[in-house]
Amino acid sequence: MQSPSRPLEMFFLPFLSPSHMIPLAEMARLFAVGGHHVTIITTPSNASILQNSINKDITAGHQIALHVVPFPSKEVGLPDGLENFFSVTNLEAAGKLYHAMTLLRQNIEEFIDTRRPNCIVSDMFHPWTADVAVLLGIPRLVFQGVCMFAQSLKDAVRRPDSPHLKVQSDYDPFVIPGLPDPITMTRSQLPHYVRTQNGYTQLMEQWREAELKSYGVLVNNFYELESAYTEHYKKVMDHKIFHIGPAALIHRNAGDKVERGHRTVVGEQECLSWLSPKKPNSVLYVFFGSGCRFPDEQLMEIACGLEASGHQFIWVVLGKDDDEEEEEREKWLPEGFDEKINGRGMMVKGWAPQVLGIGMEVGVEDWNLWVNAGKKVIRRESIEKCVRRLMDDGDEGVVLMRQNAKELGEKARRAVEEGGSSHRNLTLLIEELKQLRDHKSDG
């Protein structure tokens, strides 16, 4: 019988997008810090994003490595170096990138077959790894990139009796049955592939089938955040769920948090210098995530709303840079914007850290893909109203929101510490994977 203290060998296969790749890489680092042998499989450009963090772990003596597979740019008609959905601005390029990702299968499958790891941790966008894992007798864990609330919601609306199929209008509200809370939505807020049952729906079913074949789900948050929906989803899918996050808390200093993976366009000291004279709770951080690109008209409304609010802010704008011509700037920024917000606002054009807390709705009624986000423009008055409500003192709801955010932050820190829920889940998962490995060896 093999010694139970022998390290596991684990392969991690992330999706080609920062919002999925960086969290999964951080979770991989958790296993490496625990003494296990970790290999992250990715492509050349994406490997360069992760390399600095991996080098720090290697220097610290951890067994972690990147296995780089060639990216088939020419085969799908993409320029060299475009290997990440963060860089995609239209559906045609996104389709080519997804096709290229499917072509990676053969090289990756051969590598897995040669090395025969003890576990495969795969992003949901690689459903084929489920069949490979079954064939080789290796447990597969799936990383969804979203919380159990979102997963529960997605499963509810895929059912043939979902109420969205019965409403008369896209804007008629309905309650989604069977969830721990009464969640009200409209059909317009659902993805088009749910409403129209198109080809993307078939992909959703592939991902779900692959998840059902897996050993369990790996989640990058902590159990206390969504215990009701975790238990609900366990019953729906009848398999294991392991909350082992937030993995970003493995970064123990501000510099590491800033440089989590994708290179930032603003440095730690620049941010701290700007923030240091500000009063606590006086600066609003505005960022819609790496998967959201707004048209110029919506950016103009956001800029005007922030300016009119009178509050201090840091606004992260994707798809823009400091080298653009004045004529282009005028399409998405009001005249004199820089002068009006001088000292009060800071714009970051490009990637920025997004370890965030609590958000507030501004009135979005329609779902859109990231490349055409903001198709229905939210006007500046709504944005200004939202900012004022969030930042002005005296609103009991906002006071409670801030209190909840602070409490959740404290719970998150406790969860990843020794004895916390995420730490216990990580320990439990490692022991289960060792038992599976040793049972297979004995057999």
Sign of CA dihedral 320, 324, 328, 329: positive
232 in active site: no
User: Active-site residue among 20, 232, 243, 311?
Assistant: 20
Residue with tokens 């309650």: 175
Closest CA to 121 of 139, 109, 134, 136: 139
> Residues 193-199: contacts with CB within 8 Å, 24+ apart?
194/157, 194/158, 194/164, 195/164, 195/170
Rounded CA gap, 302 and 93, in Å? 27
Residue 183, judged by CB atoms within 10 A of its CB (0-12, 13-18, 19+), counts as: middle
Rounded CA gap, 143 and 125, in Å? 9
CB 193 within 8 A of CB 200: yes
323 in active site: no
Closest CA to 133 of 1, 40, 11, 240: 11
User: Active-site residue among 36, 62, 123, 243?
Assistant: 123
What the block records as the tokens of 31 is 């296993």
CB 376 within 8 A of CB 365: yes
Rounded CA gap, 104 and 66, in Å? 15
Rounded CA gap, 342 and 148, in Å? 41
Question: Where does 239-309 show beta strands of DSSP type E?
Answer: 240-243, 283-286
Q: How many residues does the chain have?
A: 443
Catalytic residues, by residue number, are 20, 123
